[in-house]
Amino acid sequence: MAERILVAEDQENLCRLIQTTLSEQGYEVAVALGGDAAIHELMQREFDLVVSDMRMPGASGMEVFRQARARDYLPDVILMTAFGDAREAVQLMKEGAADYILKENLLEELPVRVRQVMETRKLKADSKMLQGRIETLEERIHVHRFDTIVGQSPAMRDALHLAQRVAPTDASVLLTGESGTGKEVFAQALHAASHRAAAPFVPVNCGALPETLLESELFGHERGAFTGAVRTKPGRFEVADGGTVFLDEIGELPQSTQVKLLRFLQDHTYVRVGGEELRRTDVRILAATNRSLEEMIKAGGFREDLYYRLNVFPINLVPLRERREDITPLVQHFLARHERALSDVRPEALEYLRSYDFPGNIRELQNLIERACILAGTGSIDRHHFPIERGRLASDAGELLSLGLSIDQMERRMILEALERAQGNKTRAATLLGISRRALYSRMESHAIPIGGVEADAAESAANPD
Ligand SMILES: Nc1ncnc2c1ncn2[C@@H]1O[C@H](COP(=O)(O)OP(=O)(O)OP(=O)(O)O)[C@@H](O)[C@H]1O
Ligand SMILES: [Mg+2]
């Protein structure tokens, strides 16, 4: 479709001449023989460009310009002016007029200037359309990233709301919560929903490396910095340039590294291990901890100044047992990964899950569902597909440690589980645990587990004297 031009010029001959010239260029040209008529036209139809004389009886070129720019369709405006009278036109260019032409050169200049203005206009429209598309895409990614996080409980909604607010910024975020509550999932979503999404997301487990290695891992090292440093190596901060570094288990950070991190958070500069050059990198810091940093500060294990730098925007993820309404939707979510539905789970099995404490939080629930799906095959999923077995306790010691359970807490859990499985029968419970009845009693006592069911118990002990 041809671009539309309105010509506003009170000398009829000149006006027609301009119309003919521009029509020959392929534009659709309307004319107005004066400012008032031009303003009337602007109200009636849309134009891409207005070519207006500055001086006209009635509304002046300046008024035509202002009216034109007030339209939603925002036409461009080229002003025509006499030599020695150009000051006003120049002023209007500062307010957004596209160009002005001296009338002396009008017919040579006009087609060229019009073409230039039209081209620029088209480029602007294209880039605006592209920008709009990018924004919708970004919005979709944004929503999508947080979509993978399941949870409708008020606590979860609060956390999601906070995360969505802070995601597009460069603020440091401190994610706190027990093991398996989704700290890393949140960190990834924060990155993916930020303007850094196209750059790397680099996780570093601060607890997994000894002090010297950790420092070189984070900040890099120069050749010969220490034994084994045979070549220069960039650190994770450098690798993540433009992106996000996720410092997991930040509470494990050694003191000396805490100092370096603090300096980095203050001015984004660092020095490689064994180097001297002050380097700079642009990364956003997300950190996570399942330990209470406040308590570590009190005990002298964590720097308070670093804590305040990291804790600009805290997000706490509450344990699953404190938001039990999320259990069912999570079960459904994990079942779907195995092409199973909630209706495949027997009601009492679901009830069992809903009353369980999940010391390992969502990770534990996810593992339980995965196992149950394998065990149940194509049949329905039963209570007994969710066992917490002794074998598992023994073989998954590493996992238990990372759950942050003490031996004492673990013993208590094992005793409770054994009692539940033995339906309160102490002898069977003791057998399950591989200890004597007497030992079971004394341990129950030390864990303040009520003995209960005295009568049944008396009969039981008469039948099974230790
Ligand atoms: N809200 C959630 N919706 C769906 N899946 C989740 C959610 N939260 C966590 N998960 C799943 O649970 C598992 C554990 O999550 P994640 O690794 O983020 O926990 P974490 O808090 O970092 O634990 P840790 O402190 O042990 O490192 C992951 O496999 C993740 O996919
Ligand atoms: Mg984690």
Residue-wise pLDDT for 15-56, tens only, equals: 999 999 999 999 999 999 999 999 999 999 999 999 999 999
Tell me if residue 30 falls in helix, strand or coil.
strand
Ligand 1, atom 26: closest residue by C-alpha: 179
Residue 392 binned pLDDT confidence (cut-offs 50, 70, 90):
very low
pTM over 0.75: no
DSSP string for residues in 362-389: HHHHHHHHHHHHHHHTTS-B-GGGS---
Residue 388 binned pLDDT confidence (cut-offs 50, 70, 90):
low
Ion ligand 2 contact residues with beta carbon within 5 A: 184
Residue 226 binned pLDDT confidence (cut-offs 50, 70, 90):
confident
Cα 207 to chain centroid, rounded: 24
For residue 248, the ligand 1 atom closest to its alpha carbon is: 27
Give the residue among 245, 242, 235 at the shortest CA–CA distance from 274: 235
* Mean pLDDT of all residues in 352-379: 90
Q: C-alpha dihedral over 244, 248, 250, 254, to 10 degrees?
A: -100
- Planar angle of CA 205, 209, 212, nearest 5 degrees: 125
| 74 Cβ below 6 A of ligand 1 | no
Position 423 scores a pLDDT of: 82
Average the pLDDT over each of 303-312, 337-346, 454-463 and give the range with the smallest value: 454-463
Give the residue ranges of DSSP H helices in 71-177. 87-94, 106-147, 154-166
Position 143 scores a pLDDT of: 61
For residue 150, the ligand 1 atom closest to its alpha carbon is: 3
In the predicted model, is pLDDT for residue 455 greater than 80? no
* Mean pLDDT of all residues in 134-141: 67
Give burial (CB, 10 Å; 0-12/13-18/19+) of 428: middle
Residues 227-237 pLDDT 10s: 888 899 999 99
The boundaries of every CATH 1.10.8.60 domain in the chain are 321-463
Q: C-alpha dihedral over 181, 183, 186, 187, to 10 degrees?
A: -170
Residue 150 binned pLDDT confidence (cut-offs 50, 70, 90):
very high
Position 362 scores a pLDDT of: 96
The boundaries of every CATH 3.40.50.300 domain in the chain are 148-318
| 60 Cβ below 6 A of ligand 1 | no
Average pLDDT taken over every residue of the chain: 88
Domain spanning 148-318: which superfamily?
P-loop containing nucleotide triphosphate hydrolases (3.40.50.300)
Position 230 scores a pLDDT of: 85
Position 409 scores a pLDDT of: 80
Ligand 1 centroid to residue 180 C-alpha, Å = 5
CATH number for the domain whose boundaries are 321-463: 1.10.8.60
Position 141 scores a pLDDT of: 62
* Mean pLDDT of all residues in 317-339: 94
CATH number for the domain whose boundaries are 4-124: 3.40.50.2300
Position 420 scores a pLDDT of: 85
In the predicted model, is pLDDT for residue 140 greater than 70? no
For residue 175, the ligand 1 atom closest to its alpha carbon is: 21
| 251 Cβ below 6 A of ligand 1 | no
Name the closest ligand to CA 247.
Answer: 2
| 363 Cβ below 6 A of ligand 1 | yes
Residues 46 and 4: beta-carbon distance below 8 Å: yes
Residues 304-320 pLDDT 10s: 999 999 999 999 999 99
Q: Please give the C-alpha separations between residue 324 and each of 141, 148, 288, 357, in angstroms, as whole numbers.
A: 29, 19, 23, 9
List of residues 6+ apart from 235 with CB closer than 8 A:
216, 217, 218, 219, 220, 221, 270, 272
Ligand 1 centroid to residue 149 C-alpha, Å = 9
Residue 399 binned pLDDT confidence (cut-offs 50, 70, 90):
low
Integer Cα distance of 233 and 239 in angstroms? 10
Residues 91-109 pLDDT 10s: 898 889 999 999 988 988 9
Q: Please give the C-alpha separations between residue 239 and each of 192, 220, 255, 280, in angstroms, as whole numbers.
A: 17, 10, 23, 12
User: Tokens for 2?
Assistant: 């041809």
Q: Please give the C-alpha separations between residue 206 and each of 57, 210, 289, in angstroms, as whole numbers.
A: 78, 9, 10
Residues 418-430 pLDDT 10s: 888 888 888 888 8
Position 310 scores a pLDDT of: 94
Q: What percent of the chain has pLDDT over 70?
A: 91
In the predicted model, is pLDDT for residue 393 greater than 50? no
The residue among 180 and 129 whose pLDDT is bigger is: 180
Average the pLDDT over each of 153-162, 254-263, 429-438 and give the range with the smallest value: 429-438
For residue 290, the ligand 1 atom closest to its alpha carbon is: 25
Q: What percent of the chain has pLDDT over 90?
A: 61
Integer Cα distance of 327 and 321 in angstroms? 9
| 181 Cβ below 6 A of ligand 1 | yes
Ligand 1, atom 6: closest residue by C-alpha: 182
Position 287 scores a pLDDT of: 98
- Substitution site in 184, 188, 191 for ligand 1 pocket (most atoms within 8 Å of beta carbon): 184
Ligand 1, atom 10: closest residue by C-alpha: 182
Residue 348 binned pLDDT confidence (cut-offs 50, 70, 90):
confident
Position 127 scores a pLDDT of: 81
The boundaries of every CATH 3.40.50.2300 domain in the chain are 4-124
Ligand 1 centroid to residue 360 C-alpha, Å = 10
* Mean pLDDT of all residues in 395-400: 55
Position 435 scores a pLDDT of: 86
